[in-house]
Amino acid sequence: MPLFVPLPAAVNYGRLMITRCLTAILVSAALQAVSTAPSIAADPNLLARCWPATALPASDGERKPRRHDARRDPAIPAIQLPAASSIPRALRGAVRRVKLPPGKKLVALTLDMCEQRGEISGYDGPVIDALRANGVRATIFAGGKWMLSHPERAQQILADPRLEIGNHGWAHRNVRGLSGHDLLQEILGPQAAFQSIRAELSQRACVAGSDHTLQPRLALYRFPFGACRAEALDALADNGMLAIQWDVSTGDSSKAETTKGIVAALLNEVKPGSIVLAHANGRGYRTAEALAIAIPKLKARGYDFVTVSELLAAGELVISPTCYDRRPGDTDRYDNLFASRLRPAPPPAAHKDATRVRSPFSE
Ligand SMILES: [Zn+2]
């Protein structure tokens, strides 16, 4: 069962008893560390300064994922990563939602940009356009490969004052089968991709020395398939990242899900402090249509859309010791479905089966 942090009057931390007060201080310090300001672009005019209005909306052909020769997948950029403070043990676990003070109605919409080996997934322009049209703040969990295969779109998201970027793994591998070097590659590879994208944006004339106004690093992590294990949670915490799950799963990555079903999930399941899972990589099949209907209705009910970092700062974190979709253990099924992905990655030239394994994220 999830637990609130800080919930207990005292936490047994080895031989040390930490009081509720000290736990609260630890949580507060950790949140400051992971939400290093700014968590989004602080310059409200940067997006318009760097791109003409015609370059921002959806364009034809971008939405649909396509297969790609896995041997030509990009390498993780060799780039210096910014220092990150480790997260206290009290925060190790998967954040499901946030318990807010009475009367506060915030919701964090998250959109995953999953991209596996042997593919170039999509950019769902209508989804991002719907966020901009409705003035909705949101968090985009981007894969490392995705950022490198969509550099212009990734820079636009980074420059957008409404959008925060989180880490969705290097190549969307199930970390339950990874350890050591492979595990670190999966969780730190996107940090390197982000720094590369950030450096490219910083060098544009439109930024002109104001790169300090950009999000500095990725502080939030979304486990591919919503699956994790203790070693992966420790590795995230050691590298200054919080694991962010969700309490509202829209089901938008299923082709069988209808617009009506996604809207119903949003309207029936969102509550104050909710974190909503959806997709914007072309495998959210009716996401844009559903958001166009649900966002105005949730706003009419008094909800404000915020980024995950903003939501975390507004209340008490509800943390589960394990990762799951709707109930504990339900993402363990991917252990078998993705058996071939649970082994260490073979050398690229020998890897021939990356596109053969079908998944709920594959067409
Ligand atoms: Zn994903």
C-alpha 170 to ligand 1 mean position (Å): 11
Residue range(s) defining the domain that contains residue 150 = 7-358
The pLDDT value given to residue 37: 53
* CA 280 / ligand 1 centre spacing (Å): 10
**Predicted pLDDT at 355:** 24
In a domain, 177, yes or no: yes
For residue 185, is it within any domain? Answer: yes
Supply the pLDDT for residue 209.
Answer: 82
Given this model, what pLDDT does residue 83 score?
Answer: 87
* Own/partner long-range contacts of 132-137 (Cβ < 8 Å, ≥24 apart): 132/56, 132/160, 132/162, 134/295, 134/296, 134/299, 135/162, 136/109, 136/162, 136/295, 136/305, 137/40, 137/162, 137/163, 137/164, 137/305, 137/306, 137/307, 137/310
The answer to whether position 2 is within a domain reads: no
Q: Cβ–Cβ contacts within 10 Å for residue 342, how many? A: 16
CA distances from 182 to 174, 264, 303, 354 (A): 11, 39, 40, 16
pLDDT digits (tens, 9 = 90+) for 47-83: 999 999 999 999 999 999 999 999 999 999 999 898 8
- Domain assignment present for 1: no
Residue 174 CA to ligand 1 centre (angstroms): 10
Note whether 121 and 283 are within 8 A (CB). yes
Identify the CATH number of the domain in which residue 320 sits.
3.20.20.370
Six token digits for residue 229 = 């294990």
Which parts of the chain have pLDDT scores under 50?
A: 1, 3-26, 29, 35-36, 339-363
Instruction: Report CA(325)–ligand 1 centroid distance (Å).
Output: 12
Residue 235 lies in a domain: yes
Distance 26 CA to ligand 1 centre (A): 30
The tally of domains found in the chain comes to: 1
| Residue 363 located in a structural domain | no
H or E stretch including 47?
A: helix 46-50
pLDDT at 347: 34
Q: Which residues pair with 318 in a beta bridge?
A: 4, 97
19 lies in some domain: yes
Contact 269, 248 (CB under 8 A): yes
pLDDT for 225-248, tens place per residue? 999 999 999 999 999 999 999 999
| Residue 91: predicted pLDDT | 92
Q: 14 alpha carbon to ligand 1 midpoint, in Å?
A: 35
Closest CA to 90 of 33, 167, 5: 5
**Structural domain contains residue 293:** yes
- Ligand 1 centre and the CA of 224: distance in Å? 5
